[in-house]
Amino acid sequence: MIETPLIFDIKRYAINDGPGIRTTIFFKGCPLRCPWCHNPESYSGQKEKMYSSAKCIGCGECVKHCPNQACRLTPDGVVTDPDLCRLCSVCAEVCPTNATEMSGREMSVDEIMVAIKKEITFYDQSGGGVSFSGGEPLMFPVFLLELLKQCGQNQIHRTVDTAGLVPEKTLLEVAEHTEHFLYDLKMMDSVNHEKFTGMGNELILRNLQALAKTGRTIDIRIPLIGGVNDDLENIEESAAFIAGLAGPPRRVDVLSYHNIASQKYSRLGRIHHPGPLAEPTAERQEEVVALLKNHGLDARLSSRW
Ligand code: SF4
Ligand code: SF4
């Protein structure tokens, strides 16, 4: 297991990643491969080069400065040979238009804490804090725990955004230093879950039950994808499962799928096969929220993805 994550983004003034105004730290690396992911750069825990032909002006600076002759200009833009590229970042540093960027940078706990503490006034005024997201932040428990402990020492409210596919022991240890969780529940059928994400959901469901018993605040998030999990049978089963968790009725955010990340896939040089993924109809979205509410849940449509 990699103990030190790469960070692929730090979002300031985030308002959809927990209560109040927050700073969200995005860890690179995830055990799942959901094809609807809006952050495909979070799949891999390694550094990656991202290229946008729309932003490229064909100046050739990247080609000129690459120490490994890994990239070349073509009529279709810059092409990088992955066998030669050493991900040294030189091309991104010299690119005048940010057509080439690197995703993932090394940051120490101290450096991240500096970024978090800069916004403490906003957290205090808004009831906000810090959120750790990804990717899957729980893939890096030692690093994450150190950050959580330091935030706790500074009285900064802590949210962890997880898909729950981690050892239970890790989740419960993290829960000791976390006030609030955002927990993804994608679908109840494990065979389907594995078909779409690459992994079954037994551990995810067991972990959610165990986490609920700790008394931590947990908001459930259901990504709603037409052709994948928006059938009412799955939603009914999900609603019954959430309603049966220990503790108070949960808030459930329903996040409707939009195919807005396809450009990111191409910037990473990946071919995206959306397969059956579709945006759920407005009528189905309303039906889903109503069904969740029928189970006593505080359900709503959410713009966050
Ligand atoms: S990351 Fe480094 S090795 Fe790879 S293409 Fe850019 S400059 Fe060349
Ligand atoms: S340096 Fe940037 S703008 Fe210039 S050719 Fe390379 S990618 Fe395109």
Query: Considering its fold, how many domains does the chain have in total?
Result: 2
Q: Which pLDDT score is estimated for 277?
A: 83
Distance 273 CA to ligand 1 centre (A): 27
Q: Are residues 37 and 137 both part of a single domain?
A: yes
Q: Are residues 110 and 99 both part of a single domain?
A: no
**Atom number in ligand 2 closest to CA 97:** 3
pTM: 0.91
Q: Which residue has the least CA distance to atom 4 on ligand 1? A: 85
* Contact yes or no for 211/260 (Cβ under 8 A): no
In the structure, which protein residues have their CB atom closer than 6 angstroms to any atom of ligand 1?
A: 49, 66, 68, 70-71, 80, 85-91
**Atom number in ligand 1 closest to CA 89:** 1
Judge whether 1 lies within some domain: no
> How confident is the model over 82-91, as pLDDT tens digits?
899 999 999 9
E strand or H helix at 159, and its extent? strand 157-162
Q: Are residues 237 and 296 both part of a single domain?
A: yes
* Contact yes or no for 110/116 (Cβ under 8 A): no
Domain boundary among the residues 62, 88, 103 is at: 103
Which region holds residue 291: left if phi is over 0, alpha if psi is between -120 and 50, else beta?
alpha
Q: Can you say whether the dihedral through the CA atoms of 147, 151, 153, 159 is positive or negative?
A: negative
Q: With bands split at pLDDT 50, 70 and 90, how would you rate the model's confidence at 271? A: low
Q: Please name which ligand lies nearest the alpha carbon of 71.
A: 1
E strands in 215-266:
217-224, 251-256
CATH number at residue 84: 3.30.70.20
**Atom number in ligand 1 closest to CA 62:** 7
Distance 142 CA to ligand 2 centre (A): 38
In the structure, which protein residues have their CB atom closer than 6 angstroms to any atom of ligand 2?
A: 56-62, 78, 94-95, 97, 99-100
Judge whether 280 lies within some domain: yes
Q: For residues 236 and 292, what is the distance between their CA atoms, to the nearest angstrom?
A: 7
> How confident is the model over 194-211, as pLDDT tens digits?
999 999 999 999 999 999
Q: Are residues 39 and 18 both part of a single domain?
A: yes
Distance 75 CA to ligand 2 centre (A): 13
Q: Are residues 139 and 60 both part of a single domain?
A: no
Q: For residues 165 and 138, what is the distance between their CA atoms, to the nearest angstrom?
A: 9
Q: Are residues 92 and 176 both part of a single domain?
A: no
What average pLDDT does the structure give for the chain?
93
Q: Are residues 69 and 136 both part of a single domain?
A: no
Q: What domain range includes position 199?
A: 6-45+106-302
> How confident is the model over 285-302, as pLDDT tens digits?
999 999 999 999 999 998
CATH number at residue 116: 3.20.20.70
What does residue 9 show for φ and ψ, rounded to 5 degrees? -165, 150
Q: For residues 176 and 210, what is the distance between their CA atoms, to the nearest angstrom?
A: 13
Pocket probe mutation, ligand 1, options 46, 61, 80, max atoms within 8 Å of Cβ: 80
